[in-house]
Chain A
Amino acid sequence: MKKVYHYKVVTQVQNGLGILARITIMLRKFNVNVQSLHVTPLDEDNNFYNLYWILDSTKDPESFAVVANKLERIVPILKVTFEKI
Chain B
Amino acid sequence: MEENQNHEQLGSTIFCEALVDEGMEIMFGIPGGVVLPLYDKLNKYGKKFVHVLPKQEQGGGFAADGYARATGKVGVALGTSGPGATNLMTSIINSMLDSVPVVYITGQVVEDLTGTDAFQEADVIGMSMPCVKHSYFVTHAKDLRRVMKEAFYIAGTGRPGPVHLDITKDAWGTKAAYEKNPKMDLPGYTAVPKICSDADIKNLDQILSNASKPIIIAGHGVEIGRAEKELTEFAERHNIPVVNTMLGLGAFPQGNKLWLGMIGMHGDAVANYAIDEADLVIAIGTRFSDRIIGRLSTFIKDKTFVHMDIDPSEINKIVPKSIPLCGDAKDVLSRANEFLSSHNYAKWHERIAELKGKYGFLDFKFCPEPKSGLLSQPRLIKMISDITGGDAIVATDVGRNQMWTARFYRFNHPNSHLSSGGLGSMGYGVPAAMGAKFGLPEREVWAISGDGGFMMNMQELATIAEYNLPVKMVIMEDRALGMVRQWQNLLYHGNISHTNLVNPDFVKLANAFGIAGFRAKTYEEAEKVIKEARAINGPALITFEVDPDEHVYPMVPPNTPLGDQWLNDEFLTANK
**Cα distance A35–B317 when bound, in Å?**
24
Query: CB-defined interface of B178-197 with A at 8 Å, one 1/0 digit per residue?
Result: 00000001111100010000
**Cα distance A41–B125 when bound, in Å?**
25
Say whether B188 contacts A14, CB under 8 Å: yes
Complex partner residue of A70 from B125, B134, B313, CB under 8 angstroms: B313
Which chain B residue shows the least CB distance to A65? B316
Which chain B residue shows the least CB distance to A62? B320
**Which residues from B are CB-within-8-Å of A75?**
133-134, 154, 186, 188-189
Query: CB-defined interface of B115-140 with A at 8 Å, one 1/0 digit per residue?
Result: 00000000001100110011101000
Which chain B residue shows the least CB distance to A76? B188
Say whether B130 contacts A29, CB under 8 Å: yes
Task: Assess whether B72 is interfacial by the CB under 8 Å rule.
Answer: no
**Cα distance A62–B317 when bound, in Å?**
10
Task: Assess whether A25 is interfacial by the CB under 8 Å rule.
Answer: yes
Say whether B317 contacts A18, CB under 8 Å: no
Give chain A interface residues in 12-33, CB to chain B under 8 Å.
13-14, 17-18, 21-22, 25-26, 29
Say whether B312 contacts A69, CB under 8 Å: yes
Query: CB-defined interface of B302-317 with A at 8 Å, one 1/0 digit per residue?
Result: 0000000001110111
**Cα distance A20–B500 when bound, in Å?**
46
Say whether A78 contacts B188, CB under 8 Å: yes
7 A-B pairs with C-beta separation under 8 A: A14-B185, A17-B137, A25-B129, A66-B316, A69-B312, A69-B317, A70-B313
**Which residues from B are CB-within-8-Å of A69?**
312-313, 315, 317
**Cα distance A47–B206 when bound, in Å?**
47
Say whether B125 contacts A73, CB under 8 Å: no
**Cα distance A78–B126 when bound, in Å?**
22
Which chain B residue shows the least CB distance to A77? B188
**Cα distance A17–B165 when bound, in Å?**
13
**Which residues from A are CB-within-8-Å of B135?**
18
Measured CB to CB, the closest approach of chain B to A16, in angstroms, equals 9
Interface of B is mostly: loop
Say whether A25 contacts B130, CB under 8 Å: yes
Measured CB to CB, the closest approach of chain A to B275, in angstroms, equals 23
Interface size bracket, B side:
20 to 34
Which chain B residue shows the least CB distance to A21? B129
**Cα distance A13–B187 when bound, in Å?**
9
**Cα distance A26–B126 when bound, in Å?**
12
Task: Assess whether A39 is interfacial by the CB under 8 Å rule.
Answer: no
**Which residues from B are CB-within-8-Å of A72?**
193, 313
**Cα distance A25–B130 when bound, in Å?**
6
Measured CB to CB, the closest approach of chain B to A4, in angstroms, equals 21
* Residue of B125, B129, B135, B185 most packed against chain A (CB within 10 A): B129
Give chain B interface residues in 188-217, CB to chain A under 8 Å.
188-189, 193
**Cα distance A29–B313 when bound, in Å?**
15
**Which residues from B are CB-within-8-Å of A37?**
none
- Give 6 nearest A-B pairs by CB, closest first: A69-B313, A75-B134, A78-B188, A75-B189, A25-B130, A73-B313
**Which residues from B are CB-within-8-Å of A73?**
193, 311, 313
Measured CB to CB, the closest approach of chain A to B194, in angstroms, equals 10
**Cα distance A73–B135 when bound, in Å?**
13
Give chain A interface residues in 33-70, CB to chain B under 8 Å.
48, 62, 65-66, 69-70
* Residue of B188, B193, B313 most packed against chain A (CB within 10 A): B188
**Which residues from B are CB-within-8-Å of A21?**
126, 129
Say whether A18 contacts B129, CB under 8 Å: yes
**Which residues from A are CB-within-8-Å of B185?**
14
Which chain B residue shows the least CB distance to A19? B188
Measured CB to CB, the closest approach of chain B to A31, in angstroms, equals 13
**Which residues from B are CB-within-8-Å of A22?**
129
Measured CB to CB, the closest approach of chain B to A30, in angstroms, equals 11
Which chain B residue shows the least CB distance to A63? B320
Which chain A residue shows the least CB distance to B150? A75
**Which residues from B are CB-within-8-Å of A70?**
313
**Which residues from A are CB-within-8-Å of B315?**
69
Measured CB to CB, the closest approach of chain B to A60, in angstroms, equals 11
Say whether A18 contacts B133, CB under 8 Å: no
Complex partner residue of B188 from A25, A29, A66, A74, CB under 8 angstroms: A74
Measured CB to CB, the closest approach of chain B to A1, in angstroms, equals 22
Say whether B188 contacts A13, CB under 8 Å: yes
**Cα distance A69–B307 when bound, in Å?**
16
Say whether A78 contacts B187, CB under 8 Å: yes
**Cα distance A65–B315 when bound, in Å?**
10
**Cα distance A46–B407 when bound, in Å?**
55
Say whether A66 contacts B317, CB under 8 Å: yes
Query: CB-defined interface of B300-342 with A at 8 Å, one 1/0 digit per residue?
Result: 0000000000011101110010000000000000000000000
Say whether B187 contacts A18, CB under 8 Å: no
**Cα distance A29–B188 when bound, in Å?**
21
**Cα distance A77–B134 when bound, in Å?**
11
**Which residues from A are CB-within-8-Å of B134?**
75
Which chain A residue shows the least CB distance to B185? A14
Say whether B313 contacts A66, CB under 8 Å: yes
Measured CB to CB, the closest approach of chain A to B326, in angstroms, equals 11
Say whether A18 contacts B188, CB under 8 Å: no
**Which residues from B are CB-within-8-Å of A74?**
188
**Which residues from A are CB-within-8-Å of B188?**
13-14, 74-78
**Which residues from B are CB-within-8-Å of A48?**
187
Measured CB to CB, the closest approach of chain B to A14, in angstroms, equals 5
**Cα distance A62–B16 when bound, in Å?**
47
**Which residues from A are CB-within-8-Å of B126?**
21
Measured CB to CB, the closest approach of chain B to A9, in angstroms, equals 15
**Which residues from B are CB-within-8-Å of A65?**
316
**Cα distance A74–B313 when bound, in Å?**
11
**Cα distance A18–B130 when bound, in Å?**
12
Known: A13-B188, A62-B320. A18 touches B313 (CB 8 A): no
Measured CB to CB, the closest approach of chain B to A28, in angstroms, equals 8
Beyond A26-B130, A69-B315, A70-B313, 17 additional contacts (C-beta under 8 Å) are A13-B188, A18-B125, A18-B135, A18-B137, A22-B129, A25-B129, A25-B130, A29-B130, A66-B313, A66-B317, A69-B312, A69-B317, A73-B311, A75-B134, A75-B186, A76-B188, A77-B188
